[in-house]
Structure 1
Amino acid sequence: MSETLLRVEELALHYRTRQGAVRAVDGISFDVERSEALVVLGESGCGKSTLAKTLMRVLPRNVGHRSGRIVLGDVEVSALPDERFRREVQWSRMALVMQASMNALNPVVRVGEQVAEPLRVLRGWSRRRALARAAEVFELVGVSTDFLARYPFELSGGMRQRVVLAMALIAEPELVILDEPTSALDVLTQASIMNALKRIKRELGTSFILITHDVATSSELADRVALMYAGQFVEVADAARFFAEPAHPYSQMLMASVPRLHQRLRPEPIPGQPPSLFDPPGGCRFAERCPHRFARCDREPPALPFGDRHRVRCWLHADDAQPGDDS
């Protein structure tokens, strides 16, 4: 029987700006099981990176509102004071590989020292012991231990990305959040890193949240998919079902926009633009772009059950609502 590792309930994060509040994450609920990979898909600006930063509590100063529950294992980590969260959760139980993180390595410190640092800071390990562990993790992510003594500028982009992944894995966290980990890499390097992630998941039982806008990349690792739109999850489903039979109109249009290698149908663009997160519409946030819009779409839909662990935020899947219904 599967065991829930992470449970998130009604998570919200709004930024405070001169123009008003930006509702970047707006009432998201989901869970992640042990040894499971949840892929969060969505367009740029929909709130994916803010979701990752909220989970890891690495937020800018202009947070105007934060609410919801985050439970990791049997601990409600959202209720922990900052210092205890940093000491007991960050890196040790939950780690983050941030977007474009391969460019965030300190250019004047050898990469082995940087990877070993979390063990020295969080666990008080000696330099020698921490570097020995770093060598083991380098081998796990496919980097020769010869690179331990090198500086970041001596490594290719793909190797730097692997080093950052090693840094996230060094303390053996239960959950690793990956924010666009392959977006700046060539196709062959992307495939190589995805294979490394699959091997880590299989051998260590690590759970992943992979944040991306790349449908092809997401299909490599996903056990489940959560599709994000305008600060909300509009569909959460098993990966096989999502890619074969998407239920939400946005999911269907997104899959229709992806080029297929052995398919003659041309990709179809999604018309329109996402709504502003300064003032999102009161009803369904996809309604303006949806070909199935009807009267009830002026009211915000809940996340409706659509099978086992499958939720769809769309009135089309309510038992008593069909297009043409004015109720």
Structure 2
Amino acid sequence: MTQPALLRVENLRLAYRTGRGVVRAVDGVDFDLRRGEALVLLGESGCGKSSLAKALLRLLPRNVQAHEGRVWLDDTDILALPEERFRRDVQWLRISMVMQAAMNALNPVVRVGEQVAEPLMVHRGWSRAKAMERAAEVFALVGVSTDFLGRYPFELSGGMRQRVVLAMSLVTEPDLVILDEPTSALDVLTQAGIMNVLKRIKRELNTSFILITHDVSTSSEIADRVALMYAGQIVELADARHFFTEPAHPYSQMLMASVPRLHQPDPPQHIPGQPPDLLDPPAGCRYAPRCPKRFGRCDEMPDSITVGERHHVRCWLHGAGP
């Protein structure tokens, strides 16, 4: 039996006002996520990955021009909820987030145990003593000694701070955790440790993850599915096995060809050109100006085309008809 989706995102859009015009950071994004599944959101810097996360959690700056679409969490369209109810029932309780740069996410003058316990006191009304007990449990879950509960952020290493922020996101036992570049500032061994913690949590707690990254090799450690973003759109959405071995979109193919691999006969390739300016993106396929397989129909915006089970590509090469 097919497991129902925990999260369904339909035609999600997010645009910002700037002094130069309107930036369409997220432009018609659709995907679904099952319970206990890890979706890796790949893409170059500036493609809209972090904006997509903020759109899901309604963590929006003041210069938002448009924020629309439908985001179903189980049977509830959470974007249609009033702001107060969203904060009370969804934000942090059912969906939490690990921000980039752990040190910036922690208050430097508050002990880390207090910061991890705070969501329970704020959102669930727990006593400080009960919340601290739960914080100690989650510290153990992410591999941090309870001796660190009384430490300040500056007393911890970068890897330990990242684990503390992860503990903060897990303390309320949410259904979904969004992780924005959780290993980008860490050394290779610490990255591996964080990814092992995530895999264990996913296995033991059946937690769903959306992992935002530009690191293909790290993402392959945990991915069940991969969504590749380009210029505010998802251009390929596939299960990890197919994406990493048989990518369908020309951008996906060139991205995978750029990744160094052991024993590969040819050197990694580079992707020529630059992503488009989201103030004035191309009218047709966003990738067409850089695509070696471009043809006449690429002047039209391609639809999301189904090429296999839960495998969708935004590319006319896979479309039917002329």
Normalised by the length of structure 2, the TM-score is 0.99
**Which amino acid letter does the alignment assign opposite residue 225 of structure 1?**
V
Q: Deviations over 1:93-145 (max 9, x none)?
A: 00011111333211111100000000000111011000000000000001011
For residue 68 of structure 1, give the secondary structure of its aligned residue in structure 2.
strand
CA RMSD of aligned residues (A): 0.7
For the pair 1:55 / 2:77, whether they are aligned, the reply is no
Measure the CA separation in 2 of the matches of 1:67 and 1:284. Answer: 22
Partner of 1:124: 125
Measure the CA separation in 2 of the matches of 1:107 and 1:247. Answer: 46
For the pair 1:239 / 2:221, whether they are aligned, the reply is no
For residue 221 of structure 2, give the secondary structure of its aligned residue in structure 1.
helix
Partner of 2:267: 266
Measure the CA separation in 2 of the matches of 1:261 and 1:186. Answer: 20
Aligned structure 1 segments of 4 or more residues deviating by more than 6 angstroms = none
For residue 143 of structure 1, give the secondary structure of its aligned residue in structure 2.
coil
What are the residue-to-residue correspondences of 1:243-262 with 2, within 5 Å?
A: 243-262=244-263
What are the residue-to-residue correspondences of 1:12-51 with 2, within 5 Å?
A: 12-51=13-52
For residue 30 of structure 1, give the secondary structure of its aligned residue in structure 2.
strand
Decide whether the 8 Å contact of 2:13 with 2:66 is kept in 1: yes
How far did residue 66 of structure 1 move?
1.1
Measure the CA separation in 2 of the matches of 1:229 and 1:296. Answer: 19
What are the residue-to-residue correspondences of 1:42-121 with 2, within 5 Å?
A: 42-121=43-122
Measure the CA separation in 2 of the matches of 1:207 and 1:216. Answer: 20
How far did residue 74 of structure 1 move?
1.2
Q: Deviations over 1:238-268 (max 9, x none)?
A: 0000000000000000000011122121000
For residue 50 of structure 1, give the secondary structure of its aligned residue in structure 2.
helix
Instruction: Identify which range, 157-166 or 99-108, moves more after superposition.
Output: 99-108
Question: 5+ unaligned residues in a row in structure 2: which ranges?
Answer: none
Measure the CA separation in 2 of the matches of 1:181 and 1:262. Answer: 29
**Which amino acid letter does the alignment assign opposite residue 172 of structure 1?**
E
Measure the CA separation in 1 of the matches of 2:45 and 2:92. Answer: 26
Measure the CA separation in 2 of the matches of 1:136 and 1:264. Answer: 48
Decide whether the 8 Å contact of 2:227 with 2:236 is kept in 1: yes
Measure the CA separation in 2 of the matches of 1:201 and 1:83. Answer: 30
Partner of 2:203: 202
Partner of 2:304: 303
How far did residue 320 of structure 1 move?
2.2
**Which amino acid letter does the alignment assign opposite residue 87 of structure 1?**
R
Question: 5+ unaligned residues in a row in structure 1: which ranges?
Answer: 322-327
For residue 306 of structure 1, give the secondary structure of its aligned residue in structure 2.
strand
Partner of 1:325: none
For the pair 1:176 / 2:177, whether they are aligned, the reply is yes
What are the residue-to-residue correspondences of 1:134-149 with 2, within 5 Å?
A: 134-149=135-150
Normalised by the length of structure 1, the TM-score is 0.97
Count residues in correspondence.
Answer: 321
